[in-house]
Structure formats: structure tokens, C-alpha cells
Amino acid sequence: MFVTDLGSSSVLTLIVLLASTYLACCKCGRGAIALIVAFIISAVGISLAKLLFFGCQAYYDDYGIRSPSGHAALSLAVYGTLAILLASQSKRWVSWFTLAAAFALIVVIALSRVLLGFHSAGEVVIGLLIGAVAVAAACLFLFYNHKKVPSFNIFPLLLAVIVAAFVFHDIRVPAEEFIQRIAEQLRFYLPWCKN
């Protein structure tokens, strides 16, 4: 459960708040905005996907897709963007190690969702696709017309991520239930869904 909690919305929200504040204070506003953009795109994307799949569950039950994985989407968006920011500050071998470590963490979180029975493989794949779109948007913002990310000290940023992960790892936000209630109400207004 500890590993899967590293992808929870409460942990990742705190990480984004701490990391973006630190980046803004270090005069790396582009990095802070890129992280926030990735988080918002993945959160909105997964919320819309959950509304669609909950609302139209009669169509997608046959495929084993009921609720795309928010843990997978948000993990890829946040840890992926952070890894790219950290890699931009490091030497080549450290950059590759940072990206590989983030990739491994994201894969382990995604697999934990399936192994613990919270999601099917298809739901995790949909979440990862949404997260990938968010990371792509963050990279576009970071590097479009800019060759380099402004430099900052990576150690306080890493410390903030680790503290947030350990302090908030067991806190649950009832977002799934909230989205499910909204989807149940919207289902009657979606003409392409079976009632």
C-alpha cells in the first residue's frame, strides 16, 4: 500500500505545491508553471475520463474498464515532469539515472494498482496515456523557445518530495466517490450512454 499511496492525489498535490513554490522562489518560474500545468492537465483529464466511463459503464464493462487510474495519470504527470526538471540540472549520467528512477517509480505505482485489484490493466493504460499528454504539455511549455531551464539547487526539491511522500502517504481524498456521484447524475443526459 505504501508504494501505491505515492501516487495518491493527496501526496501528489502536496508535492506539486511544495515543488512549485520552491521553483518559483529559485527564479525557475517556468519549471513551477510546467509542473502545475502537468498536474492540472492530468487531473482534469482523468476526471473527465472517469466521468465518461462511470456514466457510460454499460458500454465499457465488457472491456474491463470502469474507472481509469488517477494514480497512474497523476504519477506520470508529476514524477515525470519533476524528473525532467531534475535531469535538466544534472550531468548526463545523473540525468539518465534520474529519468530511469522516475520511470521505475511510475511503473511500480501503476503495477501496484493492478496487483492490489484497484484497477484493470486497461484502466491503468488509459491513466498513463493521460499522464503522458500532461508531461508532453509540460515539456512543450518548458522547452519551447528556450534551450535551457534556469538552474536551481536540486537537493531541497528532492527533500520536499520525500517529506511529502512520507507525511501524506496514508491520507485519502474521496475524489473517486465524488466523481462517481456526478457521473450517475450526468448519465441520464448523455445520449450516447445506455440508461
Domain range summary for the chain, segments of one domain joined by +: 2-189
Q: What is the dihedral of CA 123, 129, 131, 134, to 10 degrees?
A: -150
pLDDT of residue 154: 85
Q: Which residues contact 13 (CB under 8 A, 6 or more apart)?
A: 39
Instruction: Find the distance separating the first CA and the last CA of the chain, reported in whole Å.
Output: 36
Of 118, 2, 13, 143, the closest CA to residue 74 belongs to 13
- Write out the three cell numbers for 188: 441520464
- Cα–Cα distances (Å) from 180 to 11, 22, 50, 114, in that order, read 21, 35, 8, 20
Q: Which value, in Å, is the radius of gyration of the alpha carbons in the chain?
A: 17
What are the 10-residue block averages of pLDDT along the chain, 195 residues in total? 82 91 91 95 90 67 76 95 90 89 95 90 93 94 79 85 78 66 65 56
3-state DSSP percent of the chain in helix, strand and coil, to 5: 75, 0, 25
pLDDT of residue 190: 60
What pTM value is reported for the model? 0.85
Distance of CA 71 to the CA centre of its chain: 6
- pLDDT for position 188: 63
Q: Check if the beta carbon of residue 11 is closer than 8 Å to that of residue 174.
A: no
